[in-house]
Amino acid sequence: MTATSPPLQVAIVGVGKIARDQHVPAIAGEPAFELAATVSRSGGLDGVENHADLMSLLDARSDIAAVSLCMPPVPRFEAATRALAAGRHVMLEKPPGASVAEVGTLERLARAKGVSLFATWHSRYAAGVAPARAWLSDRSIRSVRIAWKEDVRHWHPGQAWIWEPGGLGVFDPGINALSILTGILPGPVHLTKAVLSFPENRDTPIAADLSFTSASGMVVEAEFDWRQEGPQSWTIDVETADSALSLREGGARLFLDGEEQKVEGPGEYPGLYRRFAELIEAGQSDVDTSPFVHVADAFMLGERRIVAPFHE
């Protein structure tokens, strides 16, 4: 796509809060795309063509080159499979699916069909993340401490699916921290211990304490909690051999040895759509499952603790 190319027609599938708050304005600000249609049983968006299901859209609009899947993770595999099979480029909201294996299946299908698949991690596009990655690239890291605490009632009101199997619970926001972690560290880490707190009336955890290590012995400790009241916390603190780095407000602010740095960027979701356009232009896919693997490992290794029931 060049500056004079017409924008690609894109459709949003699943018009919920994240689509309205983030995807719609991001598409509006990205010259490479034009929002041509939606798929929503609840009516879609004013002034935008809407279809009741994905197959109706695919049958009716062969001109739509790309679809952005914003529904919950459990039904996403079927929708992505149909869109890829129809030769459409696909963007996946995070997490990219309900299981790690199904994401691999989608990647292979995209390759076979010659289309782009983008498994997105929006927090990696926060303004401080790329500078943090560059700063840490040649440093010896001793430890990392993550505190990701928010009020689920405020940020996810009435979203019952997050408490059901496949909904991830506190890992829905926690995976954002893991996407930043895996995006800024110069090498991999693996989970060694997890304690998961499940409300007695829910099927997914409301809190999690995680421990990781690396081949060099670096230690990472992460605390995720959905019961936070008052100030919310989305912080990653990194100690190196000679200095310290801190990402705050979900990666939007960067501090080096306590001094805030000036960081700039297009914004998380505008960054995603810019990257999606680049992938389509290059005929490539971007499917990094490393944050998702850490979540899967937490459920595999995690000690399960039952805590007080959760009610909206």
pLDDT at 44: 87
pLDDT at 87: 98
Percent of the chain with pLDDT over 90: 94
195/211 Cα distance (integer angstroms): 9
Q: pLDDT-derived band of residue 110, with 50, 70 and 90 as boundaries?
A: very high
The residue ranges of every structural domain in the chain are 8-119, 124-265+296-307
User: Would you say 149 and 186 are in contact if contact means Cβ atoms under 8 Å apart?
Assistant: no
- What CATH architecture applies to the domain 124-265+296-307? 2-Layer Sandwich (3.30)
Q: pLDDT-derived band of residue 42, with 50, 70 and 90 as boundaries?
A: confident
Q: What are the catalytic residues?
A: 94
pLDDT at 3: 57
272/27 Cα distance (integer angstroms): 10
pLDDT at 38: 97
222/146 Cα distance (integer angstroms): 4
Tell me: pLDDT of 8 over 90.
Answer: yes
pTM for the model: 0.95
Question: Could you tell me the CATH superfamily of domain 8-119?
Answer: NAD(P)-binding Rossmann-like Domain (3.40.50.720)
294/16 Cα distance (integer angstroms): 27
Give the mean pLDDT of 277-299: 97
Per DSSP, the three-state class of 119 is: strand
User: Would you say 226 and 175 are in contact if contact means Cβ atoms under 8 Å apart?
Assistant: no
Q: Examine domains 8-119 and 124-265+296-307 and report if their fold is the same.
A: no
**CB under 8 Å to 146, separation ≥6 — which residues?**
177, 181, 220, 221, 222, 223, 224, 235, 236, 237
pLDDT at 272: 98
pLDDT tens digits, one per residue of 129-160: 999 999 999 999 999 999 999 999 999 988 99
3-state SS, one letter per residue, for 200-237: CCCCCCCEEEEEEECCCCCEEEEEEECECCCCCEEEEE
Percent of the chain with pLDDT over 70: 99
- On average, the pLDDT of the chain sits at 96
pLDDT at 103: 97
Give the mean pLDDT of 35-55: 93
Q: Which helix (H) or strand (E) holds 49?
A: strand 49-51
Q: pLDDT-derived band of residue 1, with 50, 70 and 90 as boundaries?
A: low
3-state SS, one letter per residue, for 140-159: CEEEEEEEEECEHHHHCCCC
pLDDT tens digits, one per residue of 231-253: 999 999 999 999 999 999 999 99
